[in-house]
């Protein structure tokens, strides 16, 4: 176990090998470049003669398109091309799961901001003027914006309004408990709000295809969607990963990729496109808003008897990954607790709201607000300590989920709860402290007497990697050769998208650990010379790409041993690989890796698949998931109930990581994930009224600043996960899942108010305060 605190990373006491291998914390290889502004992000790309692209988007939520006139745009000096739905050479639609989303709207507008056309011009200003000059004759329609109404409404898309309806039936349906608590909960629409806007550079190629430099989470699935819509073979669409300024799920779907490639092919010139911040809010999917109803049954002693839940998530106008999100939401609806009986109903619904899809936590986030509020309600009804109730019902190894899946891996739920609970609480609010340390911050709204403190607790679980039978794999190639100076060089080719999570650091650590080779080079990820690595999402790349790399290293290690055995004319079984050398057991003779590489380089390629999973059956039963991560969060907040303002004072957490391959990076993932959880709890929401996005800017979509982020006290639980490389689970998502629900619990504790909606708005608290005091 490694204990970290808000003031730094604690050194490991035993077994530490300082350096840059697995379990160490070497610095990111791209870090220095990034600090100097030399790292090329996708928006930094530049090419001689390049044009600028710009998208025209619908100002309407729902409308018929009567006609589109591009002539006024083409008449503007410097404008080189305008493309619309009529110009899509291949498949007119795209989509991660099912291609139900038009590249450009042709007849129908289904959400505010849907693309209608794109232009390319010499200067961004000409492109902007041209987009504004395109005349679109819309006939506005009445939008369907309430998912409950959409369930019954006439279809707004040929595929219908219900993406997926899922029922999980587990145990005895009519079981009842001595104590029953019920509640309705709601989660608003969160944005990934990565800082690097969507951007890329498309360059037409001589073979009629296109080279695209792009910030994405998954190169190969982008390529396949682009190629289908361009109507060209996939091998003529070559994607190269440009620097990615954060992702968090928001780059899993296609945004400007197809538009850019169409413009490049149409003009025969390189075309660059960079979304401004307002457009970014329209250009990618968001976290699904959710409405949830829960009823929990428990025995008098506090054992959960049954969980009933109905979960409706608003998928917006197009499918994206809604089917997988509702599956997660339903599977994890009870939380990380032993629940013998359950009836969970999940709906993912199509509406005229902005499309929703992947965001960090993927379905587990929304339901955690529900199940953890219910656990607190239950604890209150039972007169039990909320932490005690959670410990009592915590899942353990060999327990069953409500999907019937038996937990065969590491299930340290009690450990994460105890770790979070055992961190020291912060000192009470300091009446003499700076006003910026109180709710309201620099606005100086709160005096010491206006502040009430609260403490809340929440626990969560989530799956790692893809589920329900998806063939999840990574292709990795590893080449070992002697460099010009005689030192061994390992070159890793894998299409894994580095989006900030630190895979580039881990990859080198793994190769050093396995082969003792200090110099590790990562080839630029692309679709050109290696197969798919899947998406950098679902907390899966450490396991999947790390696993592929570990396997490749093992193969080359065996080949090095064989080479040594041949030189020594002994059996390979007589030789051992030892920290960069092959040792002959009998004599102690050693051959170094560079020595062994002198005759010829070695190379291997592996496709790593995880254990197959299965789709859920009609009763929502099945081994749908590979593995699970658990986390617990304790939040301490100061609330000014009269104004409804909140300051989060401290987050303490215990997180199940399997193995911390890079403890500093793990800490960074925990702190960063917590910030997004806090954001969802107290400030982040895309405000959508009647389908219109009201706050597409960083002025009004608020991200936590450094004055909003508390110290995070983190303990990582290292219980190795069977089958995972080094026993390491993912770490990215859990911090975002239960940190927010813990904050809401703490606000309820401070105020005694039933806070049931995330984000909690000042008026939600203050107007309750008014009603109660008047």
Partner 1 sequence: MPPEGPATARSLGGPADGPAYVQADRYELLVNGTRRTVEDAWLGESLLYVLRERLGLPGSKNACEQGECGSCSVLLDSVVVCACLVLGVDAIGSQVETVEGLSADGDVAEIQAGLVDAGGVQCGFCTPGFVVAVHDLLRRTPLADEMAVREALSGNLCRCTGYGRILEAVRRVQRSRAVSDDSDGSDGGTGDGE
Partner 2 sequence: MRAARVALPTTVEEAVEALTEAPGAQLLAGGTDFCVEVNFGLRRPPAVVALRRVQELRRYEVTPASVVIGAGTTYADMGGTELSAVLPALAAAARTVGSPQIRNSGTLGGNIATASPAGDTLPLLAALDARVTLRGPAGERTLPLGEIVTGVKTTSIAPDEVVVEVVVERRTGPQQFLKVGTRNAMVIAIASAAVVVDLEAHEVRVGLGSVAPVPVRATEAEMHIGDAIDWRATGGPRASAAALARFGELVGQAASPITDHRSTAEYRRHAVQVIARRALERCVVRAA
Residue 141: what are its φ and ψ, rounded to 5°? -115, 165
Comparing CB distances to partner 2, the nearer of 421 and 435 is 435
Would you count residue 303 as binding partner 2 (CB under 8 A)?
Answer: no
Site residues for partner 2, 211-270, by CB under 8 A, read none
Q: How far is the CB of 195 from partner 1 (least distance, A)?
A: 4
Would you count residue 524 as binding partner 1 (CB under 8 A)?
Answer: no
Would you count residue 599 as binding partner 1 (CB under 8 A)?
Answer: no
Comparing CB distances to partner 1, the nearer of 173 and 434 is 434
Q: How many CA atoms lie within 13 A of 727 on its CB side?
A: 14
Residue 672 binding: pick among partner 2, partner 1, none (C-beta 5-8 Å cut-off by kind): partner 1
According to DSSP, the β-strands at 101-102 and 473-482 are: unpaired
Binding span for partner 2 by CB under 8 A among 238-246, 326-334, 482-490, 680-688: 680-688
The closest alpha carbon to 145, from 282, 284, 314, belongs to 314
Comparing CB distances to partner 1, the nearer of 8 and 15 is 8
Site residues for partner 2, 131-150, by CB under 8 A, read 132
d(CA 143, CA 321): 22
Q: How far is the CB of 541 from partner 1 (least distance, A)?
A: 14
The 216-255 contact track toward partner 1, x by CB under 8 A, reads ---------------------------xxxxxx-------
Would you count residue 56 as binding partner 2 (CB under 8 A)?
Answer: no
The closest alpha carbon to 409, from 607, 550, 543, belongs to 543
Report helix, strand or coil for 261: helix
Comparing CB distances to partner 1, the nearer of 622 and 696 is 696
Binding span for partner 1 by CB under 8 A among 94-102, 519-527, 561-569, 701-709: 701-709
Residue 176 binding: pick among partner 2, partner 1, none (C-beta 5-8 Å cut-off by kind): none
Residue 687 binding: pick among partner 1, partner 2, none (C-beta 5-8 Å cut-off by kind): partner 2
How many residues lie near partner 1 (CB under 8 A)? 68
Binding span for partner 1 by CB under 8 A among 26-34, 287-295, 546-554, 609-617: 26-34
d(CA 389, CA 387): 5
The closest alpha carbon to 464, from 674, 613, 669, belongs to 613
Of these, 5, 106, 323, 445, which contacts partner 2 (CB under 8 A)? Answer: 445
The closest alpha carbon to 646, from 448, 446, 449, belongs to 446
d(CA 173, CA 744): 31
Residues 6+ apart with CB under 8 A from 15: 23
Report helix, strand or coil for 310: strand
Would you count residue 2 as binding partner 1 (CB under 8 A)?
Answer: no
Would you count residue 49 as binding partner 1 (CB under 8 A)?
Answer: no
Q: Provide the 8-state DSSP code for 580.
A: T
Would you count residue 709 as binding partner 1 (CB under 8 A)?
Answer: yes
Of these, 278, 385, 605, 711, which contacts partner 2 (CB under 8 A)? Answer: 278
Q: Provide the 8-state DSSP code for 289.
A: P
d(CA 605, CA 387): 48
Would you count residue 35 as binding partner 1 (CB under 8 A)?
Answer: yes
Residue 766 binding: pick among partner 2, partner 1, none (C-beta 5-8 Å cut-off by kind): partner 2
According to DSSP, the β-strands at 645-656 and 711-717 are: parallel
Would you count residue 302 as binding partner 1 (CB under 8 A)?
Answer: no
Beta bridge partners of 56: 117
d(CA 665, CA 544): 18
Beta bridge partners of 41: 243
- Residue 678 parent element (H or E): helix 663-682
Residue with tokens 């197009």: 318
Comparing CB distances to partner 2, the nearer of 209 and 354 is 354
Would you count residue 407 as binding partner 1 (CB under 8 A)?
Answer: no
Q: How far is the CB of 32 from partner 1 (least distance, A)?
A: 6
Is the Cβ–Cβ distance between 467 and 329 less than 8 Å? no
Residue 387 binding: pick among partner 2, partner 1, none (C-beta 5-8 Å cut-off by kind): none
Would you count residue 437 as binding partner 1 (CB under 8 A)?
Answer: yes
Is the Cβ–Cβ distance between 47 and 211 less than 8 Å? no
Would you count residue 712 as binding partner 1 (CB under 8 A)?
Answer: yes
- Alpha helices (H) along 86-218: 124-133, 147-152
Would you count residue 523 as binding partner 2 (CB under 8 A)?
Answer: no
Residue 25 binding: pick among partner 1, partner 2, none (C-beta 5-8 Å cut-off by kind): partner 1
Would you count residue 499 as binding partner 1 (CB under 8 A)?
Answer: yes
Would you count residue 429 as binding partner 1 (CB under 8 A)?
Answer: no
Residue 763 binding: pick among partner 2, partner 1, none (C-beta 5-8 Å cut-off by kind): partner 2
Would you count residue 132 as binding partner 1 (CB under 8 A)?
Answer: no
- Residue 84 parent element (H or E): strand 79-84
Site residues for partner 1, 318-337, by CB under 8 A, read none
C-alpha separations of 162 from 62, 204, 313, 353, 730 in Å: 18, 39, 10, 14, 32
Q: Is the peptide bond before 759 cis (omega within 30 degrees of 0)?
A: yes
Binding span for partner 2 by CB under 8 A among 81-89, 232-240, 557-565, 762-770: 762-770
The closest alpha carbon to 193, from 242, 241, 243, 249, belongs to 249
Binding span for partner 1 by CB under 8 A among 60-68, 108-116, 416-424, 500-508: 500-508
Comparing CB distances to partner 2, the nearer of 207 and 690 is 690
Residue 364: what are its φ and ψ, rounded to 5°? -75, -25
d(CA 520, CA 694): 48
Binding span for partner 2 by CB under 8 A among 101-109, 124-132, 193-201, 522-530: 124-132
DSSP string, 327-340: HHHHHTTT-SB--S
Would you count residue 67 as binding partner 2 (CB under 8 A)?
Answer: no
Residue 98 binding: pick among partner 2, partner 1, none (C-beta 5-8 Å cut-off by kind): none
How many residues lie near partner 2 (CB under 8 A)? 39
d(CA 109, CA 112): 8
- Residue 593 parent element (H or E): helix 593-597
Would you count residue 672 as binding partner 1 (CB under 8 A)?
Answer: yes
Residues 6+ apart with CB under 8 A from 566: none
The 682-701 contact track toward partner 2, x by CB under 8 A, reads xx---x-x----xx---xx-
The closest alpha carbon to 560, from 605, 530, 588, 599, belongs to 599
Would you count residue 75 as binding partner 2 (CB under 8 A)?
Answer: no
Would you count residue 32 as binding partner 1 (CB under 8 A)?
Answer: yes
Is the Cβ–Cβ distance between 724 and 612 less than 8 Å? no
Comparing CB distances to partner 1, the nearer of 366 and 665 is 665
Biggest distance spanned by C-alpha atoms of the chain: 93
The closest alpha carbon to 630, from 470, 411, 421, 430, belongs to 411
Would you count residue 587 as binding partner 1 (CB under 8 A)?
Answer: no
Would you count residue 196 as binding partner 1 (CB under 8 A)?
Answer: yes
Percent helix / strand / coil, the chain, rounded to 5: 30, 30, 45
Is the Cβ–Cβ distance between 198 and 253 less than 8 Å? no
Q: Provide the 8-state DSSP code for 698.
A: T
Comparing CB distances to partner 1, the nearer of 124 and 426 is 124
Q: Which residues bind partner 2 (CB under 8 A)?
A: 125, 128, 132, 276, 278, 436, 439-445, 447, 450, 642-645, 647, 682-683, 687, 689, 694-695, 699-700, 702, 704-705, 707-708, 761-763, 766-767, 770
Q: Which residues bind partner 1 (CB under 8 A)?
A: 6-9, 25, 27-28, 30-32, 34-41, 43-44, 46, 123-125, 193-197, 243-248, 274, 276-277, 434, 436-437, 442, 499-502, 664-665, 667-668, 670-676, 697-699, 703-707, 709, 711-712
């Amino acid at each position: 176990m490694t204990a970290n605190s808000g003031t730094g990373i604690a050194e490991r006491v035993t077994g530490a090998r300082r350096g840059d291998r697995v379990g160490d914390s070497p610095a990111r290889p791209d870090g220095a470049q990034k600090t100097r502004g030399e790292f090329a992000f996708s928006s930094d790309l530049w090419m001689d003669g390049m044009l600028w692209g710009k998208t025209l988007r619908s100002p309407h939520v729902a409308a018929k398109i009567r006609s589109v006139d591009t002539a006024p745009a083409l008449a503007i000096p410097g404008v080189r091309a305008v493309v619309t739905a009529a110009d899509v050479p291949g498949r007119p639609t795209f989509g991660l799961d099912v291609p139900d989303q038009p590249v450009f709207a042709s007849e129908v507008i289904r959400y505010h901001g849907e693309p209608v056309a794109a232009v390319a011009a010499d200067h961004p200003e000409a492109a902007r003027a041209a987009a504004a000059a395109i005349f679109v004759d819309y006939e506005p329609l009445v939008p369907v914006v309430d998912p409950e109404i959409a369930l019954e409404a006439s279809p707004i898309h040929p595929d219908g309004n219900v993406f997926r309806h899922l029922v999980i039936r587990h145990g005895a349906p009519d079981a009842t408990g001595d104590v029953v608590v019920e509640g309705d909960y709601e989660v608003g629409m969160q944005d990934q709000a990565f800082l690097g806007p969507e951007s890329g550079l498309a360059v037409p190629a001589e073979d009629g295809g296109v080279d695209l430099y792009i910030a994405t989470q998954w190169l190969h699935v982008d390529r396949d969607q682009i190629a289908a819509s361009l109507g060209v073979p996939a091998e003529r669409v070559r994607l190269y990963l440009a620097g990615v300024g954060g992702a968090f799920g928001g780059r899993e779907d296609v945004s400007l990729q197809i538009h850019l490639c169409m413009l490049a092919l149409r003009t025969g010139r390189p075309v660059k496109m960079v979304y401004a911040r307002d457009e970014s809010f329209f250009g990618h999917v968001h976290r699904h808003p959710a409405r949830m109803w829960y009823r929990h049954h428990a025995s008098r002693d506090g054992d959960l008897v049954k969980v009933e839940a109905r979960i409706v998530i608003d998928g917006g106008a197009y499918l994206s990954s809604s089917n997988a999100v509702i599956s997660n939401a339903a599977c994890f609806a009870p939380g990380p607790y032993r629940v013998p009986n359950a009836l969970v109903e999940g709906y993912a619904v199509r509406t005229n709201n902005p499309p929703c899809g992947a965001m960090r936590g993927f379905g587990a986030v929304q339901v955690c607000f529900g199940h953890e509020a219910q656990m607190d309600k239950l604890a209150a009804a039972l007169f039990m300590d909320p932490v005690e109730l959670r410990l009592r019902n915590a899942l353990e190894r060999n327990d069953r989920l409500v999907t019937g899946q038996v937990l065969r891996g590491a299930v340290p739920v009690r450990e994460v709860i105890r770790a979070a609970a055992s961190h020291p609480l912060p000192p009470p609010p300091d009446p003499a402290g700076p006003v910026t340390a109180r709710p309201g911050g620099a606005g100086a709204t709160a005096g010491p007497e206006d502040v009430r403190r609260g403490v809340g607790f929440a626990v969560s679980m989530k799956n790692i990697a893809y589920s329900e039978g998806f063939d999840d794999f990574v292709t990795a190639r590893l080449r070992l050769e002697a460099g010009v100076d005689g030192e061994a060089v390992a070159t890793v080719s894998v299409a894994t998208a580095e989006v900030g999570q630190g895979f580039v650091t881990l990859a080198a650590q793994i190769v050093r650990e396995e082969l003792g080779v200090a110099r590790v080079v990562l080839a630029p990820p692309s679709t050109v010379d290696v197969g798919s690595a899947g998406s950098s999402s679902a907390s899966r790349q450490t396991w999947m790409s790390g696993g592929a790399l570990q396997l490749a290293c093992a193969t080359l290690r065996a080949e090095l041993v064989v080479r040594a055995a041949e030189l020594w004319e002994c059996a390979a079984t007589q030789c051992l690989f030892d920290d960069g050398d092959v040792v002959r057991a009998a004599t102690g003779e050693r051959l170094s890796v560079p020595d062994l590489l002198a005759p010829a380089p070695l190379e291997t390629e592996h496709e790593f698949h995880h254990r197959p999973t299965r789709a859920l059956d009609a009763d929502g039963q099945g081994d749908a998931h590979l593995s699970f991560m658990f986390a617990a969060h304790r939040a301490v907040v100061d609330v000014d109930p009269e104004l409804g303002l909140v300051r989060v004072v401290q987050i303490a957490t215990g997180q199940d990581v399997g193995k911390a391959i890079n403890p500093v990076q793990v800490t960074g993932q925990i702190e960063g994930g917590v910030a997004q959880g806090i954001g969802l709890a107290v400030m982040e929401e895309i405000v959508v009224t009647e389908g219109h996005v009201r706050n597409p800017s960083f002025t009004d979509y608020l991200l936590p600043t450094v004055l909003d982020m508390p110290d995070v006290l983190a303990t990582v639980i290292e219980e190795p996960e069977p089958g995972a490389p080094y026993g390491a689970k993912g770490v990215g998502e859990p911090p975002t899942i239960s940190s927010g629900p813990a904050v809401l619990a703490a606000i309820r504790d401070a105020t005694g108010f039933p806070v049931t909606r995330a984000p909690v708005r000042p008026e939600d608290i203050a107007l309750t305060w008014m009603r109660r005091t008047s």
